[in-house]
Amino acid sequence: MFKKVLWLALCTSALGAQAAELRVLTHSSFALSKELLAGFEQQSGVKVVVIKAGDAGEMVNKLILTRANPIADVVYGIDNTLLGKAQQAGVLEPTASPAGAAVKQTLPGMVSVDYGYVTLNYDKAWFAKQKLALPKSLDELTRPAYKNLVVVENPATSSPGLAFLLATVKGLGEEPAFAWWGKLRDNGVKVAKGWSEAYYTDFSKNGGSRPIVVSYATSPAAEVFYSKQKLAEAPTGNLLLKGGVFQQVEGVALVKGGGQKKAARQFVDFLRSDAVQADLPRQMWMYPVVPGVKLNPVFALAQQPVAHDTPDSQAIAAKSAGWVSRWTRVVLKSGY
Amino acid sequence: MRAVFSRQALALLPLAFLILMALAPLARLLYEGGGGLSANLFFDDYLRWRLVWSLTQAAVTCVLALAIGLPLAWALARFAFPGRVLILRLLLLPFVMPTLVAALGVLALFGPHGVTGLNLQDTPWLLLYGNLFYNLPLVIRAACEALATVPASRLAAARTLGCTAWRAFWRVEWPVARPWLASALCLVFLYCFSGFGLALLLGGQRYATVEVEIYSLVAYELNLADAGALALLLLCLSGGVAFGYAWLERRLATPGKVEPLPPRPAATLAERTLLAGALVLLALFAAAPLLAVAGRALSAGVEAWAVLGEGDTLAALANTLRFSALALGAAAVLGLAHALAAQRWLWLRAAAFLPFVLSPVCVAFGLLLLYPGWSASLALLLGAYALLAYPFVAKSVAAALDGVPPQWPQAARTLGASAPRAFARVVWPLLQPAFRRGLAFAAATALGEFAVTLFLSRPEWTTLTTLIYQRLGRPGAASLDAALVLSSVLMLFAVSAFVIIEWPARRDRDSDHA
């Protein structure tokens, strides 16, 4: 039976290779309305095969490992934390932005598609009930009043976790940042493996006991959108502190050595089209890079940060591995 | 002589599969890492703590699972009560639950907002509870099967000669059950040792196992040299366990036809108390988190259940059904072939544990390196499912084969039956219950698909489990409700699969009613 299946799959994949097929590699959070993708297929005459490769960090590593035999023609979802690494490994083809409205959030060598912010979220009901004032700086989080209240994701296994670490390094300066992390550890910070774990098992809004979590600035809006009774106000809020906001810009690029160049280029332009830009926010909870696109009114419920501390992608490429291992030493390894 | 040759030839299929799907990818990954294994990795205090912790929690879980599981299994095996057979089938259910959902269930009981009012989050107790939730059922199932192989006549003789029930247990039942328990505990150890585990989820990064370290080294840092070194170390440690187990199992095997003791109603007060206590314990450790998930799903209201009508859900259900069925087909063939061949060689028997022992992330990345052109193909994905599922069939059937007296097929041969006929008429009927049992475990694995998220996938291949993780990947009460509803559907689905796979044969049914 298995052999038959294998054989069948072989045949279909062989057949598939003959039809024009555009292989799009994405991270697992990628989502787009089916009608839009179908429209693109019709217009371009190619079949789009979306391949999900896990978390964005995992995806880039898979791309790097297979650079001799690329597994995709175009890749979406590489952000400014990973761009440098991907470029150093030489897996991307420099891809120029399409002509049109000037966008503010750009990625060198890639075409930016959407952006968002990684920041702290807090549980409004918890703070109201405990009558505790919101912290006004990262430093305050290391005080006894905020003991055991914070959960962060491990930057070695989670993209938002890494983004938050990068923001602290940029916002506080490298040495003070790690000193701060040391104090936060002493004040009982909990480290979760990834966003879902932190948000659903440790955040006090759900199963856990900690009212402050590293999440996204659009999460409060998503909380309202995915609430049971339509809420007028978000149950969570953004805690926009100096050194605690990271601007994440995601983009699309052609894969070096990939095929279907023309269709790939069309796909890049397609992601910048008004229809896709208007669809993205609600699908992935990111802001569109093209200015003037009308947002779902629910986005008004999430405060958009005006300032952020984001190192440039060259600095990230050069130093983030070192920062992560130093973080592991300071937060996880000390005490063993 | 021909039969021996054909059995040896049977080994080729699972061996080729293991080499193509597991060993070659790992070797390829090690090669990519440069092969320079750095020993200084092991002088790192932090990693040593990881290793010690991984070993400790696995060992403690084994001891606890045995201490709690054995008396519990004894009560389930010896006493008849309504719903007994169903409970035995349901024991596999924890296996199917995605770790994150199981954690939600556990926290709904013993979390900060838990219904028990007892907050155990961030204490070691919750970790052990989580480990027992997944592993206790394994031990109970094995012990129940084991106790069913204790000859009724031997027990009756012991009792006639004046043994108390307690003494009869130690002198008659315990020796028979030992190999089965050793097998189950070996599996528990391997799962706890190399798993990602609920422990990490419930306890935070402090309780991460070595496998988490490997995952981060490969998937995030692309540090293949260190990851390879660690993966090899794990392979040696747990490979040793697997080999020891295979040796033990073969040594302790006692072939022979047994007339098992049929379960009877609990008669005395002491017996009723024992049974009631066992059921309460079972409910506490295995059923409570599942019930908490189902309960929360049911109380979520009609809007939450509307998710069932969505196209995505229906497609995911269809995929789950399709992939599980295909994986089961492959697991059946590979498992049978492996078990039959492993009768002759100890190392082959131990090799059935390979898929449990290898680091999943290393295999996933190795496959990518080895077959880049195939990396996003359905065949590879199904191969991964089969790899994780088939050892259960192999293990179960191998153990049952030990119990088949060699004289029986020989007698059939002497009477003129051909080798295939002797197998089909004599050996196969004896293997069938074990085969079905193995398939049920394989189905649970295929439905639960722990590691499959590590492989490349396509949106059109979304299964129920991936859909649950997708829902838990975004905020909002409705997302959580949808995930809980989908988890309940997954449970229902799994229960029906288990009941169908292990539909009792007529003889079992009779004995259940006896």
Q: Which domains does chain A have, with CATH numbers?
A: 2-115+248-301 (3.40.190.10), 116-246+305-333 (3.40.190.10)
Choose the mutation target among A33, A218, A336 for the interface with B, i.e. most B CBs under 10 Å: A336
* A269 close to A125: Cβ distance less than 8 angstroms: no
Give the pair of three-digit tokens for residue A207. 């199963």
Q: At A95, list the tokens.
A: 């891809």
Per the listing, tokens 């080798």 go with B419
Give the residue with greater pLDDT, B234 vs A130.
A130
Contact A13 B374 (CB under 8 A): yes
Are B469 and B486 in contact by the 8 Å Cβ rule? The answer is: no
Lowest mean pLDDT among B228-242, B441-455, B485-499: B441-455
Query: How confident is the model over B15-27, as a mean pLDDT?
Result: 91
Contact A2 B104 (CB under 8 A): no
Which residues on B lie below 8 Å from A200 (Cβ)?
100, 104, 472, 480
Closest A-chain CA to B472: A196
pLDDT at B254: 66
How many angstroms away from the CA of B216 is the closest CA of chain A?
A: 6
Report the gap between the CA of A202 and the closest CA in chain B (Å).
Answer: 9
Per-residue model confidence (pLDDT) at position B29: 87
Give, to the nearest 10 degrees, the angle between helix B174-194 and helix B45-78.
140
Identity of residue B137: P
Q: A-B interface: how many C-beta pairs under 8 angstroms?
A: 182
Model confidence at B163: pLDDT above 90: no
Q: Which two tokens stand for residue B23?
A: 């060993």
Average pLDDT over residues B82-109: 87
Q: Looking at the complex, report in whole angstroms how far the Cα of residue B491 sits from the nearest Cα belonging to chain A.
A: 20
- Identify which of B104, B219, B459 has the shortest CB distance to residue A200: B104
Name the burial class of residue A128, with classes exposed (0-12), middle (13-18) and buried (19+) by CB atoms within 10 angstroms of its CB. exposed
Of B431 and B46, the one with more pLDDT: B431
Tokens of B59: 């060992």
Rounded to 10 degrees, the C-alpha dihedral A119/B481/A29/A103 comes to -50
- In terms of Cα–Cα distance, which of B252, B218, B214, B281 is closest to B75? B281
Contact B204 A228 (CB under 8 A): no
Q: Which of A29, A66, A208 sits opposite B112 (nearest CB)?
A: A208
Between CA B483 and CA B479 the distance in angstroms is: 6
Phi, psi of A68 (to 5 degrees): -70, -30
E runs forming strands in B39-196: 79-80
Select the residue of A50, A65, A209 nearest B121 (Cβ to Cβ): A209
Helix, strand, coil shares of chain A as percentages rounded to 5? 45, 20, 35
- Helix and strand numbers (H, E) in chain B are 28, 2
Shortest distance between the Cα of B254 and any Cα of chain A, in A, equals 34
Give the DSSP per-residue string, A151-211. Answer: EEE-TTT-HHHHHHHHHHHHHH-HHHHHHHHHHHHHTT-EEESSHHHIIIIIBTTTTSSBS
Give the model confidence (pLDDT) of B459-510 as tens digits: 888 888 888 888 888 898 889 999 999 999 999 988 888 888 887 654 544 4
Q: Closest Cα to residue B372, out of A32, A266, A255, A5?
A: A255
Q: Spell out the per-residue pLDDT of chain A, length 336, in tens.
A: 455 555 555 544 544 445 689 999 999 889 999 999 999 999 999 999 999 988 888 899 999 988 888 999 999 999 999 998 899 999 999 999 888 768 889 899 999 999 999 999 999 999 999 999 999 999 999 999 999 999 999 998 888 999 999 999 999 999 999 999 999 999 999 998 889 989 999 999 987 899 999 999 999 999 999 988 878 889 999 999 999 999 999 999 999 999 899 999 999 999 999 999 999 998 999 999 999 888 888 888 888 899 999 998 889 989 988 999 899 889 987 754
Whole-number Å distance between alpha carbons of A304 and A287: 10
Highest mean pLDDT among A261-265, B243-247, B320-324, B429-433: A261-265
β-pairing verdict for A150-153 and A111-123: unpaired
Return the DSSP state at A319.
Answer: H
Q: How much is the pLDDT for A279?
A: 93
Q: For residue B202, which of B133, B123, B136, B137 has the smallest C-alpha distance?
A: B123
A76 with A55: CB under 8 angstroms? Answer: no
Q: Which residues of A touch B112 (CB under 8 A)?
A: 204, 207-209
Q: Is residue A258 a contact partner of residue A74, using CB atoms and an 8 Å limit?
A: yes
Q: What is the pLDDT of residues B319-334, one digit of tens each?
A: 999 998 999 999 999 9
ipTM score here? 0.86
Q: Per-residue pLDDT for B453 more than 80?
A: no
| Nearest-CA distance B114 → chain A (Å) | 8
Report H helices in A202-312: 219-225, 261-271, 274-284
Higher pLDDT, B182 or A319: A319
Across the interface, do A62 and B215 touch by the CB < 8 Å criterion? no
- In one-letter notation, the amino acid at residue B133 is F
Q: Which structure tokens are listed for B288? A: 């409570």
How would you class B198 by CB atoms within 10 Å of its CB: exposed for 0-12, middle for 13-18, buried for 19 or more? buried
pLDDT recorded at residue A47: 94
CB pair distance less than 8 Å for B219 and A227? no
Q: How is chain B split among helix, strand and coil, in percent rounded to 5?
A: 80, 0, 20
Alpha-carbon gap, residue A198 to A206, rounded angstroms: 10
Residues 6 or more apart whose CB falls under 8 angstroms from that of B112 comprise: A204, A207, A208, A209, B119, B121
Query: In chain A, how many H helices and how many E strands?
Result: 12, 11
**Looking at residues B187-199, what average pLDDT do you find?**
75
Q: Cβ–Cβ of B476/A190 closer than 8 Å?
A: no
Average pLDDT over residues B88-94: 87
The predicted structure's pLDDT at residue B203: 63
pLDDT at res. B39 = 60
CATH of B2-28+37-503, one of 3.40.30.10, 3.20.20.150, 3.10.20.310, 1.10.3720.10: 1.10.3720.10
Answer whether B104 sits within 8 Å of A10, measured CB to CB. no
